[in-house]
Amino acid sequence: MICSAENDMSRKEAVIRTERVTKIYDSGEVQVEALKGIDLEIDPGELVAIMGASGSGKSTMLNILGCLDYPSGGNYFLDGIHVNDLDRDQLADIRNRKIGFVFQGFNLLARTTAFENVELPLLYSRQQEIGDPAQLTRQALERVGLSDRARHYPNQLSGGQQQRVAIARALVNQPAIVLADEPTGNLDTRTSIEIMATFQELNRQGITIIMVTHEHDIAAYCRRVIEFRDGWIIRDQEVPRPHDAGKDLEAGRWKTASQPGERP
């Protein structure tokens, strides 16, 4: 019993915890129950794929985890903060401080350099002691291997480089989690593996990453897979031996894919 208590005390608090979370959309005559009581914990340092078909509830869950929407019922704790109790200004503040977003479409400003795109969240930050914005921006670009592209504009970068700029932008505020919504959806097979190699390296550095994807071959690079169906979690399991994206690139395994998005 003493050992068990010690283990409980030494365990890190979950960075994400939901308790019986529900979401109901009221369209007038019809109520749609998008989430039906979700219990979920994600610990610091995890690399998680969230999967599910259209209408499964994964996008609704993503909006709640990203503090873009409130649950209809239940409780959501982000890095120990009870999100249900926050007003919209506080919700915007916690998004800025705690969450880094990566989107399928990159969402870079066309007329600003990679450096300026990455620096942008710092200009809107309300944190009083955030540090030197220029130094934080350089560090974020270094982490994704793009120091030499800092002064390039988006149209001077490849799709993979643009997505890495977007990842650097998500990291610059040093968030508790990075939330990626279909981050490889607009990329070819090789570039998708390159992006997963970047995510895996960041995860090895201790970054918590939660990724929404419909691609099973991309989920195979994650350490845990959570699958939604009809508003429920139907599968939540660890991946015993995740694929190593770096090794796949070195071995040229992407060349053997017989169809777009398919990997051996």
**Spatial distance between the Cα atoms of 182 and 248, rounded to a whole number of angstroms:** 20
| Tokens 């309300």 found at | 126
Residue pLDDT, tens place only, 92-144: 888 888 999 998 888 999 999 999 999 998 887 766 566 788 999 999 999 99
Nearest residue to 120 (alpha-carbon basis) of 181, 66, 172, 156: 172
The yes-or-no verdict on residue 264 having pLDDT over 70 is no
**Spatial distance between the Cα atoms of 165 and 252, rounded to a whole number of angstroms:** 24
Half-sphere exposure for 179 (CA within 13 Å, toward CB): 23
Task: Tell me if 226 is assigned to some domain.
Answer: yes
The yes-or-no verdict on residue 6 having pLDDT over 70 is no
**Spatial distance between the Cα atoms of 255 and 182, rounded to a whole number of angstroms:** 22
pTM of the model: 0.86
The yes-or-no verdict on residue 8 having pLDDT over 50 is no
Task: Tell me if 262 is assigned to some domain.
Answer: no
Cβ-in-10-Å burial (0-12, 13-18, 19+) of 195 comes to buried
Residue pLDDT, tens place only, 164-196: 999 999 999 889 899 999 999 889 999 999 999
Residue 252: the pLDDT is: 82
The whole domain housing 176 covers 12-256
Percent of the chain predicted with pLDDT > 90:
73
Nearest residue to 182 (alpha-carbon basis) of 51, 23, 65, 45: 51
**Spatial distance between the Cα atoms of 35 and 199, rounded to a whole number of angstroms:** 28
Name the band, by pLDDT with cuts 50, 70 and 90, for residue 4. Answer: very low
Residue pLDDT, tens place only, 9-30: 345 689 999 999 999 998 778 8
Please provide the average confidence, as pLDDT, over all residues in the chain.
88
Looking at the 3D structure of the chain, how many domains does it have? 1
Task: Tell me if 149 is assigned to some domain.
Answer: yes
**Spatial distance between the Cα atoms of 166 and 203, rounded to a whole number of angstroms:** 16
The yes-or-no verdict on residue 5 having pLDDT over 70 is no
Q: How many residues does the chain have?
A: 264
Q: What value does the mean pLDDT take over residues 139-159? A: 95
Task: Tell me if 261 is assigned to some domain.
Answer: no
Q: What is the CATH number of the domain that holds 217?
A: 3.40.50.300
Residue pLDDT, tens place only, 188-227: 999 999 999 999 999 999 999 999 999 999 999 999 999 9
